[in-house]
Structure 1
Amino acid sequence: MISLTSPVETRAHRWPAGLKLAGLCVASTGLFLIKDPWVHAGALAVVLALYAAPGGLFLRAGLRALRVVLPFVVILMLWHLLTDELWQGLLIVLRMVTLVALANLVTMTTRLEELTDLVHRLTAPLRRLGLPVHLLETAIPLVVRFTPVLVGRAQTLAEAWRARSRRRPGWRLVLPLMLQALDDADHVSEALQARGGPLGSRKQD
């Protein structure tokens, strides 16, 4: 498993994880309150400038991670073009891409251990109430770590398909990708149970 953390060390790596997540929340709330597409375009330009500031390697790594939103961009723009609401679709797309880019920027500059510790502190009040917050504390790091793994698996399957066929893979990759994801989930479940993790402890109860 790998994480989304950038191999390039930046100043943002030394900022507290709580501060970065709080800034992400404030920026997200502000973008949802603003309805001007030009403001959103400016916000996206600022975010791209933040990606470019640490250098070309960091910029390319960030842009590669953002490729997953391209299908949603195409679908949303086509839908709003058909419904004659192009400006509304442009607003939604700009907001979505900017927010995903900001979230990805936070993840790239925050180590997984810092995110886990932050979630542990934030869920402390719920833990005192007896709620099973350990499941949440386990799930979030797994999602962060496995997201790039699944993206990489999808790219590998697509390349293998193109090497054997001239047709586009499309939906044909869904089943093998799903089977690989289920296989990985099974191995992780067994590893957690072997180490006395939340799944194992729940099974013993």
Structure 2
Amino acid sequence: MAEPPNVTADHRQKHFLQRSGTDNHKKTEHHSPRSADQEAQRNLAVPFRGLIRGGMRTGKKVIVVGVVDPRPDRFYLGLSCGCGTSREPPSDVALELCVRFRDRQVLRRARVSGTWGEVDRAVPFFPFIRDQPFRIEIYCEQSRFRVLVDGQQLFDFYHRVTSLKEVDTLWINGSLSVTKLG
């Protein structure tokens, strides 16, 4: 089965997203399929922070494929300008998506110049099921991000951070495991 051209798992990671931080994995001389799979799993470990090469722009998309934990609480996805720290997000977050399982909410917000904006809550359905796989696609359009889950449009989020090329970091955290990025 052919993979999409933006897939970043295993050796293709360098073309789109690069894990940031101090992850220094030693490469071995022997590359069996199993060791490549293990390396890909380490590169996609949650919490994840990765570089979006060239930043976002109209027509670009980010794909996150994963599995919800068996006993999920919540998980987060974010697109930001820089990676911030573990205690403090960057000053500009173009989109923070929070999926809460207890009340079946999908919350979205942005942070501009260090200030969080209002939370958007309305979605037509709650697409995430515990212990089940999912595919989130975030399309960058001229005035908004269009977000689909498993091929169904979930919401549009209009840009608050307007310098899209500076939106260069994807981060993921919470009750999920990531299997593929693109």
**Range into which the TM-score falls when normalised by the shorter chain:** under 0.3
TM-score by length of 2: 0.22
Greater RCO between the two (CA within 8 Å, min separation 6)? 2
Which structure is larger by alpha-carbon Rg, 1 or 2? 1
Q: TM-score, normalised by structure 1?
A: 0.21
